[in-house]
Amino acid sequence: MSKARNLDNKENYRQGKLLSSNLVFLLLVLVLSLWSCSLSLEKAQVHYLAGQKYEARFKTAEALSCYQAALQEAEKEIKRRPSATAYLIKGLVETRLQAWEKAEESFRLASLLGEEKAGDWSKEVSLYGLALSLEKQGLTAGAMKLYRSLMEKGKLEPVVQAATGRYLDSRLAGLNEKNEGERRKVVLDLVNTLEKMLKDYASCGYYHYLLSQVYSFDGKYRESFEEAVLARELGLASEKLLRDNDEQIIFCYHKLKQVSPEEVTGFLQAYNYWIKKWNWRDETTPDWKRR
Amino acid sequence: MDEKKIQAFFQQTAGILQDFLPPGASVVGPLVYALAVWGLKQQASYREKISGLKVWLWPEILVNKPDDFILNFFINDEALKQAYQEEIASRDLKTLRQHFAVLYPLLGLQDPFLEALFWPEIDSGNFKKIVADYQPRVEKAFKEIKAAEDRSDFWPALGRIFSGLVELGWQTLTESEVRSWLKQWLKNQ
């Protein structure tokens, strides 16, 4: 017959028994900590995917909020248990938030921990960082080659977009000092480049924004207006891009208003339709504008 | 909204920020205004938005604009038109382009942080002084923030201020109201 368990029974306090209850406790802590680790990683993934979903629906503010949450969870996970997946998610979020140096480091660490594709992404982010620094030092030709290469061969979308923006801005610098023929040649080349990009990324608001800007260098205000409307409708990644795009829309309005009344009637109808949809206070005052 | 509550909130906010910033720092007003505006616009995160301010000097918007865009910017704002009438009349695009690079983020894109750094000059229409003072003043402001950012409790403190704004019912105000409350408080300092 087995002895009844009794709290007063000294057998219960022998070293072996103490060890075994400590072991159970430690195992429990370990299981809980592993569970909370994987929970952080899972949360990071869920937030990142939610961010992508919002981005696809052009809800930029919500997308950014999800990316911030994903970043926090990925950082938590890395503190507890660094892994290739955690660094990969961290790097992806950082590219979305344009924290290039951090993203490069995260992809490099993900690659070291065995994530193959992270190696290529790390190189792309690193090339972009190098191009930025070349440009800052006035070595424009080298920077332009790198931007162009990223635009043509890059796989990581945020890097490709950023490289395209920098490439265009560099080509447009000093354009006003060139003669008419040279200016038109540059603009035509840039329009062709962007149209090629839009074949792959037709729903990307940023490329429509860029095309709208380039058209206005050639005095094509109707085309510029249409591309800016597309950019606004498809969504832009930041408030300042949205505001700059709105300023472009207003600029096109000022220029197109000056053409003949027959031509302007159709445009004004379209213009009023859009500004009503966007809740602008009047033709030249978007909802965010005070003055 | 209760004026006393707002004044008390600003006072408390200044107290929190003064722990992080050097004496006489110029960024208290701009930081609070930036927090309030992004909060009002329900932007994703105060942290992303404030950090994003640094990017203004390295924008992902296209900074190169056609001459007509620049002229249009100066002509269609009465105060700017007045201040730059000579340059506009002589089509001095070299000067206009240089000044545009500084004034467009403030007056065109209305960045709340930069705007709050130059409120007195904007209100008095002294745009050429903004251009002259821009580089040193913005650099000083960023240095102040950078020093504060090195402390790990800086962002959580800004987070508490942001939560305080939301608790005050900030979202029910317009951007203009926020601006005038804050300007009034700054004047009384």
Domain boundaries, chain A: 38-138, 187-291
Q: Which of A12-21, A229-238, A253-262 has the lowest mean pLDDT?
A: A12-21
CATH for A187-291?
1.25.40
Q: Flag if B108 and A213 touch (Cβ within 8 Å).
A: no
| Residue carrying the six token digits 């909020």 | A65
Residues in chain A within 8 Å Cβ distance of B61: 240-241, 244
B63 touches chain A (CB under 8 A): yes
Average pLDDT for A211-231: 96
Q: Which residues pair with A282 in a beta bridge?
A: A285
Check for a shared fold between A38-138 and A187-291: yes
For chain A, say whether B60 makes contact (Cβ under 8 Å): yes
ipTM over 0.85: no
- The answer to whether residues B9 and B91 touch, using CB atoms and an 8 Å cutoff, is no
Environment class of residue B159 by beta-carbon count within 10 Å: exposed (0-12), middle (13-18) or buried (19+)?
A: middle
- With beta carbons under 8 A apart, name residues in chain B contacting A290: 110, 175-176, 179
Tokens of B142: 């960023």
Q: Which residue from A minimizes the CA distance to B73?
A: A251
| B43 contacts chain A (CB < 8 A) | yes
- In this complex, do A98 and B45 lie within 8 Å of one another by their Cβ atoms? no
A287 CB within 8 Å of a chain B CB: no
Q: pTM of this prediction?
A: 0.72
Q: Name the residue with higher pLDDT: B13 or A5.
A: B13
pLDDT of residue A275: 96
Distance from CA of B29 to the nearest CA of A (A): 19
Residue predicted with more confidence, A122 or A220: A220
Contact B77 A291 (CB under 8 A): yes
Confidence of residue B32 (pLDDT cuts 50, 70, 90): confident
For A61, the closest chain B residue by CA position comes to B44
Kindly state whether B78 is in contact with chain A, defined as any CB-CB distance less than 8 angstroms. no
> Can you tell me the mean pLDDT for B158-170?
73
List pLDDT tens digits, range A156-171.
Answer: 888 888 899 999 999 9
Q: Residue B164's pLDDT band (boundaries 50, 70, 90)?
A: confident
Q: Structure tokens of B72?
A: 């249009």
Which residues touch A155 (CB under 8 Å, ≥6 apart)? A120, A121, A124
Q: What is the 3-state secondary structure (H, E, C) of B72-90?
A: HHHHCCHHHHHHCHHHHHC
Say yes or no to pLDDT of A96 above 60: yes
Q: Do B44 and A173 touch (CB under 8 A)?
A: no
Tell me what pLDDT residue A85 has.
Answer: 82
pLDDT higher than threshold 90 for residue A117: no
The CATH architecture to which A38-138 belongs is Alpha Horseshoe (1.25)
Q: Do B175 and A290 touch (CB under 8 A)?
A: yes
